Amino acid sequence: MIAKQIPAVNPYSVSEPAAKDRPFYGRDALFTWIHAALLQAVPEQGPDHPVILRGPRRIGKTSILLQIEAGALQPPYTAVYIDLATIALDTPSALVWDVAQTAVQRLQQAYMELPPLSHASFIGDPLRAFREQLLLPATVALNEAQMAVHEGRPASKLLFMFDNLNALATKVESHTLKEDFLLSLHQTIYRNHMAACLFAWEMGDQPIPAMMQPIFDQAQVYDIGPLADEDALALIRQPMNYTIFKNVAEYIAGLTQNHPYETQLVCQELYERQQRLKLKLITVADVKAVQRSVLDSGLYQAQLAAGPSFHISPKGTAVQTVQRTTRRALWQEWPFLALVVLLLLVVTFITAVPRVTGQSWSAQLASFGGGSVAEVVESTAVPTSGPTIQVVVIVESPTPQPTPTNTQTPTPTDTPAPTETPTPTETPTITPTPTPSVLPDTFVRRQDNMPMILIPGGAFAMGSSDLDFPAAPDERPQHMVTLDTFYIDQYEVSVAQYAALLNRLGGYAGLCDGFDCALPRHVAGYSSYLLEEDLGDGVPQFYALTGFANYPINHVSWYGASFYCQAMGGRLPTEAEWEYAARGTDGRIYPWGNEPPNKERAVYQSDSFNDLLPVDALPRGASPFGVYGMAGSMWEWVADWYGENYYAQSPAENPTGPEFGLTKGIRGGAWPSNVGKERIRSANRSELDPTFFSSTVGFRCVYVP
């Protein structure tokens, strides 16, 4: 028998999982179970039941996920493989951002394009951004693609497959991620049946961490075991197109206990041996020859050294168990010359015994056993003819069975009051209503602990009248504007708050929609309280100068301000919103009223940057809504493009400024000596290039409920 069509490349791989171009056999029952389990994991149909594949190292978890990505489940899933051991897990926003980018790349491979993702939104409210910017448009794209190809067939949906869940558990144990993050992610993905998710967990010597146990208690868990017998034999025989002698495949399966990785480890070595020696036939001797090299690699020594048991069955009723030894064949252990010498000694001994004793060998055997030769032969039960001796592996590999779904109903989670979590998130969700009375007057934004003040919707006179002599032409004509309800930051954004954003981004240069965000002190000079330091790992760290963490951020571009607000789940205020929050409905000149400014109300017309104060200073200068620092201190970026004559054509409801322009509006005046009391009036307007950095410009954010 000769080898034929032997693969030019080793078909076995132990260095990487079995993707679509690698040998993969069996697991049909597992794929059927996964398909059914995913349909039962919908939160709207009851308690959350995450689907988790659990198994020891190298049992094939990653290969199973990659097979699903290659289409093992068939439609309606478009699978996205995510290795949690290789993506950022330091913050929820970083994790969700990496997952979203991976999904976009996967959809691009399927020739589906999605709108660009906004990094800022993922920093502020990652799960909401994930749903709105990825899941919703992806669902639409998949539906359209399905209709174009297979009209009438169920629409495809995304399946997120998270490998190495243990890496996320480590972050939960260290309190880097919250205990409920995994379930929140699961709920977000399954919401409105838009997508599904699947997790893989590696079992080890340690028990499941206590913080993860509630998740496993609710989950549908499948414990992955070795391959079924027929699948293990297929893995051994089919990729190798050379002849395997008789029961050698069963021998290998017994040797490896049907473990897929161990089986491939042995078969990989057999292939290399066949190629090297040009073998026409693979025998047990060849398996034993490669066994030593496999053992020397340090992998699975105990299992490979012990070996399996066999039974020899010449008759159906006579079964004898024999333990296979692990010694190598004689011709492999000794030099050939020693073997020849041994054979000569044996022949000499056989011929010498009858001459010395005067008895034949038959008589010698009979006298030794105390009976006739026939009796001795019968007692050994070695047949000289009859049925062929059959070698059967008795070490069986049980077919993996899914762990029954835990039907215990989890303890209901209390929904926090709106005053505790006003920023809308996936869980819990604030349900806004048009009635201002149901909205809290204040709340603390969870992303940066910024207090926000409710500004009830209403109408006010925007701009300056003809009787306001200090007013500039761009403040006229005065006109009535009606605004919807919104929230505004009680204080200007501080140095510490902005430094936290830069630490999430990992820098400031070109990271705010392609523009520099803000300038640290070593670039901007002494008038910046923002410091940058490299701690030696190549990743810069940003922090406030000691004692100035609560001072207003400055040297920030419009793009840096806008990016921050988006990251916090809001935006910059429009000019109309800013002015309304500063002066209310009574037409006052300054936020505090019509009295002239003084040092107890505003930081303005100062000779030194050192006169700047913390953002929560000067309560006597607050607006009628209780908003601080809206006169002096820092000019504040607004959302609008600046238009000198815009007031003449401004809409009466919720104006947002010109559609385009060259400069962005700034409001409120600032600290320097050239800013007099007329420039800190609430109606005063000014402008700057959006890429400009100044020691006199900061910002605050708004949020529309």
Instruction: Output the 3-class SS for 620-662.
Output: HHCCCCCCCCCCCCCEEEEEEECCCCHHHHCCCECCCCCCCCC
Provide, rounded to the nearest whole percent, the portion of the chain with pLDDT above 70.
Answer: 73
408 compared with 50, residue with greater pLDDT: 50
Lowest-confidence pick of 422-431, 500-509, 582-591, 695-704: 422-431
Q: Residues spanned by CATH 3.90.1580.10 within the chain?
A: 437-492+554-703
CATH fold, domain 437-492+554-703, is: paralog of FGE (formylglycine-generating enzyme) (3.90.1580)
377 pLDDT above the threshold of 60: no
> CA 284, 290, 296, 300 torsion: positive or negative?
negative
Decide: 513 and 562 in contact? Cβ < 8 Å.
yes
What number of other Cβ atoms are within 10 A of residue 378's Cβ?
11
What tens digit of pLDDT does each residue of 423-477 get? 433 333 334 434 445 899 999 998 999 999 999 999 999 999 988 888 999 999 9
Question: Which bin fits 612, alpha (ψ -120 to 50), beta or left (φ > 0)?
Answer: beta
Distance separating alpha carbons of residues 127 and 190, to the nearest angstrom: 12
Distance separating alpha carbons of residues 550 and 616, to the nearest angstrom: 8
Decide: 631 and 601 in contact? Cβ < 8 Å.
yes
The position carrying tokens 């073997």 is: 339
- Residue 5: its pLDDT value, please? 52
Decide: 677 and 605 in contact? Cβ < 8 Å.
yes
- Residue 254: its pLDDT value, please? 86
What tens digit of pLDDT does each residue of 480-523 get? 999 999 999 999 999 999 999 999 999 999 999 999 999 999 99
Decide: 517 and 556 in contact? Cβ < 8 Å.
yes
Distance separating alpha carbons of residues 595 and 579, to the nearest angstrom: 18
CATH fold, domain 28-223, is: Rossmann fold (3.40.50)
For the chain, what is the mean pLDDT?
Answer: 78
Distance separating alpha carbons of residues 41 and 114, to the nearest angstrom: 27
Joined tokens for residue 33: 């179970």
What number of other Cβ atoms are within 10 A of residue 370's Cβ?
8
Q: Residues spanned by CATH 3.40.50 within the chain?
A: 28-223
What tens digit of pLDDT does each residue of 143-176 get? 776 665 555 455 577 889 999 999 988 888 888 8
pLDDT average, residue stretch 233-251: 76
What tens digit of pLDDT does each residue of 522-540 get? 999 999 999 999 877 778 9
pTM for this predicted structure: 0.54
